[in-house]
Structure 1
Amino acid sequence: GDEMKFMFLLIFFTLPTTSMIIAKAFACVEFDNGEGGVDKYMLVDMTLSCDDDNRRYQFMRGFALIMGVALPVGVPLAAYALLWSRREEIEGRKTRLGGPELNVLAFYFRTYSAKCWRWTVIDMQRRLVPCWLMAFCTDSTTVLVHSLGSSYAFVLVWREYEPSWDAQADQLGYS
């Protein structure tokens, strides 16, 4: 009931932020050590060395790797599986929210047309791309360019596919 609905909303809204925090566990900054070498420290905790022999760092990185698969990959897959299991009811709905049996999941598909319920998962992935770019790109310009590029590509696909329920639900104003 309402507890599940709240949990789905909470996961949906916190997923990008949580994913960004997880991704930051992989970001290290290099500093000259004054002896011709380089020392690496975590971007988010400059007291933590990124050396391979640092157990605390290895634990954090291992945990982040597990959570990096569980959340940014697992949550959209779980959402897709839940929606897919109710696809006939979702595709057969006559209103945005569908019947009472879809109340818990309606938040995910309410803005999309009956046949485009999958777009909520695509939108989740779009929201996660900038978070993970930060983990693997150290140059902020590269992150910005790739984030803008992926967002632009999403807008173009959205415009051509028109997944919105109606013109009022079209968040990009293309319908």
Structure 2
Amino acid sequence: MSRLRHFFRHEIELWEDIRGFFSTAFGKDKRPPAISYSHPRYGTFEDAGEFSYSLHTSVEVTWLGEPVEFSPDATPGTRERGSEIIEASFDTMDALMEDQAGWHDKARAAVLAETYPLWRDEWRDPETEPELTEDEFWSRITLTNVTTGEDGWFSLTFHVEGELLTDHAICVSGSIAAGVEDVAIEG
């Protein structure tokens, strides 16, 4: 559980840094509008709105035959670096798309190694919930979003069906060079 506590502490610190940046640079809880950007394969990305987590809207892409949302880098970059950052996001997405099955298998292995034992030993109520095999557990998890960024960074967000993890999502993050580096339960 210490990895999860560390993750949540890191997320809170990250949001405080972002909020502080916006407040200092643009006034309380404001941020600059994202630069609209069109990509020949992925489409057009517009400003997602002032209070959105992401700077840009997402688009639907097909991952292993299923629709998922693709969000380019959400890091607030300067206007001068905006197109450079988003281009790097597209390069990362291209690398993931070239080996969808391989990246999906790596994410599956990491999710099962990190979350299945946690669910089986701590979250599952043995009196009301049946034991699931790893394959049955994984069959209730669906990729919903791919977010990519600079330096090959990516995050895969998975929806977990029903009450399996009490409405939490699973986030797998890493980089093209290092592979899967972290699995976190979010929500």
Please tell me whether Structure 1 or Structure 2 has the larger radius of gyration of its CA atoms: 1
Q: TM-score over 0.5 for the alignment? A: no
- Say which structure is richer in helix: 1
TM-score by length of 1: 0.25
- Say which structure is richer in strand: 2
